[in-house]
Structure formats: C-alpha cells, structure tokens
Chains A and B, each alone.
Chain A
C-alpha cells in the first residue's frame, strides 16, 4: 500500500518527520517496507527568472541566458538549446553540481566556447509529466506559472517534495488498504484527531430509479450494491491536485470521471465503477452469475468465456462488466459520455479471487476486492465520489439511488472484561489505558466495573472476540511492556524424544560414526531420475504434484537412490576425491492413485561412497555397524538391481525379511554418467527394519576360563560362500563363539578353481576349563564337517 505523506496530512495534523512516522507505524503493526523521498534524485535545482537572452556567437541553435536565481546568484549564465524560452520566464535551473532524474549530474562547462554554469530543465529531466505540473510534457524547457520566489527549491514547486510510505498491510486489515484507513491508524497512534472525509453533495431534482432499474440476483456474491445516476457530465481533464495525487500513487490521470473512481479507490479503498448509461441496453442493470459459455470483452480488449462461477454486471441484453474485476469494453467512459451510473459494491472476496485466478485477469479493483471490502465503506465511497463530482463541477447528481443490501451487516459487539484481555496478555494494562486505546481506534466502549461491552467500528470486519481486542490494546500500548515469564501456571510435562525418535537418532549417530556425512535432498524428483536408474514403471506409481515448479521436481520420490546418486556425481564432478554420504528421509508410497487416502511416508536411509579404499565391503560396513550397535545380525544374498553391478550387489535381510540392498553402480551406467571412480550405494528400509533392531542392553558374564583362538585355512572350491562356511564352523562345535574370515588367497599351488579361506575361530569354555587337547578335538570336528559339506581340506 503506497501512501503519500501529503495525502495523509489531509486527515491527520502531524508535525513528526516521515522517519518518525515510519517507526510509529512499525510499532503498531504496519511495516513500512520502503520510505521513499519522491524528489530523491533531484538536488540543487531551483526556480530562476530569465533576465536576458542572447544568440550564441558560434551556434545557431544555442542561446545564452542570464538567470536570476535569488540567493543562488542573480547573474548566472546558462547556454540552452531549447527554443521555448523567453525573457521574464520562470524556469527550473539545475545549478553547477546539481543532480537530476536518472542520475544525471550537471557541472559547469563550456558550450562551443561559451561558459554555461548549469542547465535549464524540461519536465522530463525532473522526472515528471503533465500530471505533476501543467506543461511538463512540453518538448522544451518547463515554463513555471504564477509568482514563485526566485531560488525556491523546484521540488516544492512541482510536487516532488513529498514522501511515499510503502506499507505492508497484513491480510487481516483490509480496512487499511487505503489512505484514509492508514490515516485512522496514524491518528490513533499519534493521539491526534482524525479529520472526516468530505461526503456531502447537492442533488438535482431527477431520479436514478426513473432512468434505470437495478437488481441483484446473486446476493450471496454481492452483499451490497449501490448505483447512483449522474448526468450532464463534462468529460475533461482533472485538476492538478487530483492528478498529482494519482501520480504520487503511481497512476496516470485519464479524465475526471475515471480519475474520481481511482481517487476514491486510493483514498477509501473502495473500487468504483462508472457505466456510460447511454450504452446500457434497455436501461437495466442486473448483478448475476454468468451463463455457461457467456462471453465478455473487458476494457483491455481481452475476451473471456465465462461460467456460472463468475459474477457479471449485465444490462438488458449482455454482460457489461466482470464484477469487481474489470468493466466491459462495451460500456466504458468515452470522451462524449454525458451520463453515467456510478457503482459502489461489495463483492464476495472469495469469488473475485476465484474468477481472477481462473481467468488470469487482474486489476487494481480485483486485487482490492480479494483482500475484502466492507459494506460500510461501500456506503461512504459513493458519497465521496459524488462529493468530488460536485467539487469538480462536472455533472448533476440524481436525488435518489439504488442501495441493495439483503442483510445489513451489524457491527460486532463483544462482551468481555478488562481482566480477560489482561489475562491473555499476562500484564496489567490499566483500565483507562485499554478504554482510551480502543476509543481512539473508534471502538465504542461501555464499562461496568471490570465488564466491558465493546462495539467494533463498522469497517472492522476482522474483529471477532476479546483476543482481537487484546491485540489492538497491546499493539498500541507497546509490545515492550510484555515481559518474559516462564509459564508459572502450566503443568510440568516430560518432554524430549520418544523411544522411537531416540532410536532414529542413534542409527544416524552410528552411520556418522562411520565417517558418513549427512545430506538433505529434495523430496520431489524427476521422472527422468527413474529412467536413469532404469526403474521402468516406477515413476507411474509415484505421487505427482499437480503444480510443480518444473518437471524435474514433479514427483514425490519412492526411493532415495536417485537423489543419492546425483549427489555423489555432483561431488565427483566438483573434484571432491572421496565422499561418504547418507540421507535419512521419507519415501512416499501411495496405495492407490489418484490419492484418495493418506499415503505411507516411510523412513528410509540411503548411503553412498566413492574414493580411495572404498569397495563393496567398506560400503557393507554401514549395515554391519548398525548390526554391531543393536546386537542383531543381517544376512546378505546376491541380488539383481537394474542400476547395480550384477556381481557386486546384495540384498540385506533381517529375520528373513528383505530390508535393504547395496552394491556397486553398474559400470555401463557409470560410463553414461562419465563417472570413472567406482561408486557404491545402497538403501535401508528403516521403517521396516526398525522393530527388529533391538535396543536393550543385557549384560553377559565374562567367561570364567580362558578362550582359545585358532587360525584355520581351508582350500575350497571358488564357489564356496563365506557365510555358509561360517555357519558350518559354528554348527560343528558348541564351543565356537566367533568366526572371522581374515584372508582369502589364490595361487597356482592351490589350484585352478580353488581358493584358500582363512578363519580365526574362537572357542569359549562353558563349565570347565579347556584341557590342552580339547581344542584339537573341536578343530577335527570342524575339518570333518567342512570336508563333508564343501570338500574343504586344511591347508
């Protein structure tokens, strides 16, 4: 919301600076996002009188002017190329060292050998047009009118000596989307009286209702509709003061009638419309839902096909306006318009918002209606428009009007107490202070002891209950009165993580303990990511976003693998020579599409490694570290995944259930990605595995007698599997408590198709200490078992 300081001052007498006002507004809930001095670009530019003009001796088109600029010099020589100057003219003079619109700097210099101590300015060079000062659009020097003291700062003359407050108005305060709305707040916060808006006008003895009929067929979408007839219009240029106000607010002046509607929108926040009555068929105006397929061409010459969701204003034959959004091209004000019907209406904001979005058509009016317009302002705005018609003397005003309001809005009345307000705030704001603040904000307060009955002003449709009053009080009383307390009335609660959450944190800590760095990637991925991993048909099972930022962030991932792979590749490409990464995040699984029930969000861990020393088994370390921490055992079996090396990938099982996989990125896929280092990645279905990860620590007594360790190397077939040998060793003796492969060796001596596998086996005694010969007996049994099952021989 852009608010010119000068306009604000029409309604509140204030002697504080713009900066001080900015701080005051900030304190009561209106952040000034930008405070702009309108003439900030213009410096050292003053009013001067041309005392004498001579021709330049060496240039036909140049003239040498002698300027009297009062205190800045009574005989300043300036050369100009403009031909509209004359002796005695008052002109803007940019002095030596001055700056102008667009950052132009003026310095003393010579033009064709003649000294020029500045520049005479055009309107354009001051950054203004005709709306700021009559004659500013002229191609030449701006000739100033009237009697202005020489040396006066030009900014004061052309309206640039002003500030614009760009105020962020929160969505609950549509009543402050106007100059007058802000003025009400300023008056309250400065404790100054608010001056009323001029709303009176003289009527002529003719009637609106005799000229036109108005009906509202959709009162749900149009709670109030006011129409007032004005005739014998003279369409002309608006006076300078009005044009300047519009210009300050960033609007161009059009003509008096259009300007009045815009002026009222800015000043009171009520969008207005004026229909050219001569172009209204059958002298009828009807507010109704559009018929399916009905068409309208708006003022900006765009055609729209409408539906029942759109509200239109129609004459006896056709739509003449898209209600609240834009007037129709068929009923707008033209230069020869002589009679209009002024419309001031409240349209339902939700409907305007839907229509504006659906059709992609926006205007100042629709933007304003979307925020919400109150029925009270609808009523005063029409009076203000008619007051301006009279003030500008540009038409005759009918003696009656249509004011269709199915259910007049009653002001909100809140029965509460001073103590309720203070209880919510937690401080004791004195009763008189509360009453004073609410009264200054135009609330009507009647008090009886602690009890108060508060009537909200008609324009405050946001007020619902006493917490709203508490907010009004504290924002004016000052938030610095709120002193921190520590919930003295609250019950003690336990707090902290739940057991499940602690387990998650523990798993993450274990993985970090293996030198993995946590990453966070977007939950949405591209269908191309599935294609990259050759996961055919997977993308179709994923949940799609209806309005994604782009195709590459359009589906909710059902796997973390693509994000992990992309992150690994990014790190590789950036020259990071090694990385260990993991992510703990949800995947999103729909039981059916389109989504008709809450999808499953399952917590998953992805991990990936590359770099010196990394291989399949270092990647496997993630699982084993988790198993070691939780005292559980994972089983591993070869697996085929479309994006992994078929000989170097495994699925991971716990209690017979598959809970993850990992492996080397398929070499051909690596080549596709121009990745030369082997990359390993995996995914752990944490949601599924979580219940099987024990957490309880249970003490096992230390063995009473010494354990025995033996290193045993077996020659076996190449196809022998480590886990099966381990199991056979365990099964061969009840005293075996640990089996650890420590070497795999192949040589000609051992033979082709054979390998030697060396295990470190621990035997733990139970009740009695081992005798020296016991271990030999256990080893023999192991040899026998392995010999039978795998043809293994001791090396």
Chain B
C-alpha cells in the first residue's frame, strides 16, 4: 500500500509539473481525485483491508489526498496567474483607435443664438411670442407710427404681396399683436424670420430678428439699460458693457442705438470693431405713446421699452463668421460646428 501511495505521489508530482493549462490540470486532477480516480479507488478499497489495519491505512490515504489537493490548488493558482499574464500580453488594444458612439446633430448657428438669448430673458419673466411672417401693412408699419409714405419706410425695402399684405420687415409687428391681446404687465420676446429686399455680405433678403417688449407702470430708460447690460454680460462676457446713443425709430421715443464693448479686444479697438472698441448690436427705445394708444393702452398710466436685434448679426459677431451668406448655404461642415 505504502508503495502504491508513493507511486501515486511521484506520478502526481511529475504529472502536475507537465500541465500547462487549467484544463490539463483539471483532467489530471480527475484522474486521481475524481469520483473514479485512483485515490478515490484506494478509499473505496478500504473495505477489503483488514479491520485492524484500516485506521493506519485510512490515514495514509487521506494524507495523500490532502497532499494531492494542496498540490493541485497550488498549481491551479500558478496556471491561473500565468494565463492572465498571457492574456495581458496578448490582449493589448490601440487606445488611440477611433471610438464608436452615437453622434448627435446640431442647431443652426442662428437657432443657437436665438436659444441663448431666450435663455437670457426667460428667467427675467419674458414670454415668447411668434407672430405671422406674412403681415398686414397696419401691423408692420401703421400701428408702429409709420404711416404710408413716411420716410422711415425707406429704411427698409419691403417685399409686398398685395397693397395690404407684405412680408414683415421687422419683428416689431409682433409688439402690436401682443399689446392688442394682452394688457400690462407685458414682457415679451418675439423671434422670427423677417424680410428685406437687400442682399450682400452683411445683408440677406431673409434674416431673423428678436424683438423685446416690456410695458408696465413706471418703466424707465434706466430699466432698458439694466436689462440690456444683463443680456450683454450673459451672451458675451461678464466684462461686456453697453453704450446707449441717440437714434431714431418711429415706434420709440427716445430711441437709442445700443453698442456693446468689443468682446474681441475688450474695448481697446481692433479689426472686428473697426478700431472703435464698440460694436453696434441693436436698436431700442421707450415705446412711443402713439404705439401704446394704437393698442388701447393708456400711455399716461403705462410706459415701456422695446428693443430689436438681428440674430444673424449676433451670430456673426459671436462666432466670427464674416459673410452672412454662409449661414444660408447650410454646408454640413459649417453646421456641425454649432453644438447645443
């Protein structure tokens, strides 16, 4: 028996050293320790051993079993480590190769600017109103204090459909529609397409404007300035300043042109601001009393301000696009640059 056990011991010792995979090791283990393995057979063979020898023999066999299990476990651990190390050796990826991911589309730069402006103002309590693009002369001009043959009509070359209907030349038409249907307090932003018969690097026959309107008790020119200061800081940088200077629009009095300190040079003067340090960005003013009257709002009780800006112009300034026509070519290489 002792001899048999010694033979098994040496066979296992030799066999284990020759195994290279965990599968080979498992097969070897089964050969000795499996249900029908050699050591298990010895245990079963105990029945034939005389009773008085059984304890001593049993101990011998169980010692061998314990020894063998420890040997297999050790080898198992060794092979596991070896296999993992081999995998590490063989499974290296080129981490610089391209990824797979679902791309997302983009907003048109004009929409992006529109969104950013709306985000500036919605928190201040401005609602969004979109009026019709094909408008009546009344809303686009007359109600805005621009009667027929007023010289201010020359400021904008209007597209006409009929004598009465036209393509709105300004989102200001939305002011009237809002004020006709809503009584103060009014805080409205009105974005949309507008149309003027003009086409070159800085003019497009169709472009977008954003109109702002506030009507309430005690609204002042200082309020206009305060709101626009906030707008400028949010849309550009926290250092951006605004400057008001006198201008003329028939629907506001006083009227102002609003300049922003140049975001590029910070006001020192550069190519973008043509050396002035300022960039003209929008027109604004206190709502003309006649306009309020036209909408049935008592100008002695309420005052208000309005402002209007061109979204393409702001997009061009903000993103450094030098020709407005690029915005309407819709080349995917341009579009893809304007993420949400």
Instruction: Name A's B-contacting residues (CB within 8 A).
Output: 26-29, 170-173, 349-351, 353-354, 370-372, 423-427, 464-465, 467-468, 470-471, 474-475, 479-480, 482-498, 501, 508, 511-524, 543-549, 553, 556, 567, 570-571, 574, 576, 578-582, 585-586, 588, 594-595, 598-599, 601
Residue in A closest to B329 when the chains form the complex, CB atoms: A570
Could you say which of A28, A29, A349, A501 has the most chain B C-beta atoms within 10 Å of its C-beta? A29
Give me 19 other A-B pairs in contact (C-beta within 8 A), A523-B167, A579-B332 excluded.
A424-B303, A470-B253, A470-B254, A482-B225, A485-B226, A490-B214, A490-B216, A493-B127, A495-B123, A496-B123, A496-B128, A511-B105, A512-B340, A520-B108, A546-B160, A547-B159, A547-B160, A548-B159, A553-B205
Within 8 A of A (CB), among B145-175: 148-152, 154-155, 159-162, 165, 167
Inter-subunit contact B162/A594 (CB<8 Å): yes
Taking A545-B161, A601-B133 as contacts, is the C-beta distance between A485 and B223 under 8 angstroms? Answer: yes
Inter-subunit contact B328/A482 (CB<8 Å): no
The interface residues of chain A lying within 8 Å CB-to-CB of B134 are 543, 556, 588, 595, 598-599, 601
The interface residues of chain B lying within 8 Å CB-to-CB of A467 are 253-254, 286, 288-289
A724 CB, nearest partner CB in chain B, Å: 31
Residue in A closest to B215 when the chains form the complex, CB atoms: A490
Would you mind naming 22 contact pairs between A and B with Cβ atoms under 8 Å apart?
Answer: A26-B245, A171-B152, A350-B148, A423-B303, A424-B254, A474-B254, A479-B245, A488-B218, A488-B223, A490-B217, A493-B125, A493-B185, A493-B186, A496-B128, A512-B104, A512-B106, A518-B106, A544-B161, A546-B161, A571-B332, A580-B105, A581-B335
Inter-subunit contact A170/B247 (CB<8 Å): yes
Contact among A471, A489, A543 with B216 in the assembled complex (CB-CB below 8 Å): A489
B94 interface residue per 8 A CB criterion: no
Inter-subunit contact A523/B206 (CB<8 Å): yes
Inter-subunit contact B221/A598 (CB<8 Å): no
The interface residues of chain B lying within 8 Å CB-to-CB of A468 are 253-254
Taking A29-B246, A482-B225, A601-B132 as contacts, is the C-beta distance between A545 and B159 under 8 angstroms? Answer: yes
Taking A516-B105, A518-B105, A518-B107 as contacts, is the C-beta distance between A484 and B254 under 8 angstroms? Answer: no
What 1/0 mask marks residues of chain B from 106 to 122 whose CB sits below 8 Å from any chain A CB?
Answer: 11101100000010011
A553 to B126, CA, bound (A): 34
The interface residues of chain A lying within 8 Å CB-to-CB of B104 are 512-513, 515
A482 to B246, CA, bound (A): 12
Inter-subunit contact B226/A484 (CB<8 Å): yes
B313 interface residue per 8 A CB criterion: no
Within 8 A of A (CB), among B204-229: 205-206, 214, 216-223, 225-229
Taking A495-B127, A599-B134 as contacts, is the C-beta distance between A515 and B105 under 8 angstroms? Answer: yes
A698 to B89, CA, bound (A): 51
Residue in B closest to A354 when the chains form the complex, CB atoms: B149
The 10 A-B residue pairs with the shortest CB-CB distance, nearest first, are A426-B220, A426-B222, A29-B246, A484-B226, A489-B218, A350-B149, A471-B254, A170-B248, A493-B125, A512-B105
The interface residues of chain A lying within 8 Å CB-to-CB of B255 are 471
Contact among A475, A553, A581 with B332 in the assembled complex (CB-CB below 8 Å): A581
Contact among B118, B220, B242 with A423 in the assembled complex (CB-CB below 8 Å): B220
Residue in B closest to A514 when the chains form the complex, CB atoms: B105
Contact among B185, B227, B254, B340 with A491 in the assembled complex (CB-CB below 8 Å): B185
A27 to B226, CA, bound (A): 20
Inter-subunit contact B222/A475 (CB<8 Å): no
B263 interface residue per 8 A CB criterion: no
The interface residues of chain A lying within 8 Å CB-to-CB of B253 are 465, 467-468, 470-471
Inter-subunit contact B214/A371 (CB<8 Å): no
The interface residues of chain A lying within 8 Å CB-to-CB of B29 are none
Taking A170-B247, A490-B216, A595-B165 as contacts, is the C-beta distance between A522 and B225 under 8 angstroms? Answer: no
Residue in B closest to A579 when the chains form the complex, CB atoms: B332
Inter-subunit contact A574/B331 (CB<8 Å): yes
The interface residues of chain A lying within 8 Å CB-to-CB of B65 are none
Residue in A closest to B327 when the chains form the complex, CB atoms: A520
The interface residues of chain B lying within 8 Å CB-to-CB of A598 are 132, 134, 136
A512 to B106, CA, bound (A): 6
B21 interface residue per 8 A CB criterion: no
B278 CB, nearest partner CB in chain A, Å: 11
The interface residues of chain A lying within 8 Å CB-to-CB of B118 are 497
What 1/0 mask marks residues of chain B from 17 to 57 whose CB sits below 8 Å from any chain A CB?
Answer: 00000000000000000000000000000000000000000
A29 to B253, CA, bound (A): 13
A104 to B117, CA, bound (A): 52
Contact among B126, B199, B246, B331 with A28 in the assembled complex (CB-CB below 8 Å): B246
A586 to B150, CA, bound (A): 31
The interface residues of chain A lying within 8 Å CB-to-CB of B105 are 511-518, 580, 582
Inter-subunit contact A487/B160 (CB<8 Å): no
Inter-subunit contact A495/B125 (CB<8 Å): yes
Inter-subunit contact A487/B214 (CB<8 Å): yes
Residue in A closest to B330 when the chains form the complex, CB atoms: A519
A625 CB, nearest partner CB in chain B, Å: 11
Inter-subunit contact A495/B126 (CB<8 Å): yes
Contact among B128, B133, B214, B247 with A497 in the assembled complex (CB-CB below 8 Å): B128
B121 CB, nearest partner CB in chain A, Å: 7
A194 to B193, CA, bound (A): 47
Inter-subunit contact B151/A523 (CB<8 Å): no
A179 CB, nearest partner CB in chain B, Å: 20
Within 8 A of A (CB), among B311-335: 327-333, 335
B197 interface residue per 8 A CB criterion: yes
Residue in B closest to A595 when the chains form the complex, CB atoms: B165
The interface residues of chain B lying within 8 Å CB-to-CB of A594 are 161-162
B272 interface residue per 8 A CB criterion: no
A287 CB, nearest partner CB in chain B, Å: 19
Inter-subunit contact B110/A520 (CB<8 Å): yes
B61 interface residue per 8 A CB criterion: no
The interface residues of chain B lying within 8 Å CB-to-CB of A426 are 220-223
Could you say which of A493, A523, A594 has the most chain B C-beta atoms within 10 Å of its C-beta? A493
B124 interface residue per 8 A CB criterion: yes
Inter-subunit contact A425/B221 (CB<8 Å): yes
Inter-subunit contact B225/A484 (CB<8 Å): yes
Taking A471-B255, A484-B222 as contacts, is the C-beta distance between A517 and B159 under 8 angstroms? Answer: no
Contact among A470, A485, A497 with B222 in the assembled complex (CB-CB below 8 Å): A485
Residue in A closest to B255 when the chains form the complex, CB atoms: A471
A578 to B327, CA, bound (A): 19
A739 to B252, CA, bound (A): 62
Inter-subunit contact A570/B331 (CB<8 Å): yes
The interface residues of chain B lying within 8 Å CB-to-CB of A353 are 149, 151
A668 to B304, CA, bound (A): 59
The interface residues of chain B lying within 8 Å CB-to-CB of A520 are 108, 110-111, 327-328, 330
B38 CB, nearest partner CB in chain A, Å: 42
Residue in A closest to B146 when the chains form the complex, CB atoms: A171
Inter-subunit contact A576/B333 (CB<8 Å): yes
A489 to B214, CA, bound (A): 12
B219 CB, nearest partner CB in chain A, Å: 6
The interface residues of chain A lying within 8 Å CB-to-CB of B195 are 523
The interface residues of chain A lying within 8 Å CB-to-CB of B3 are none
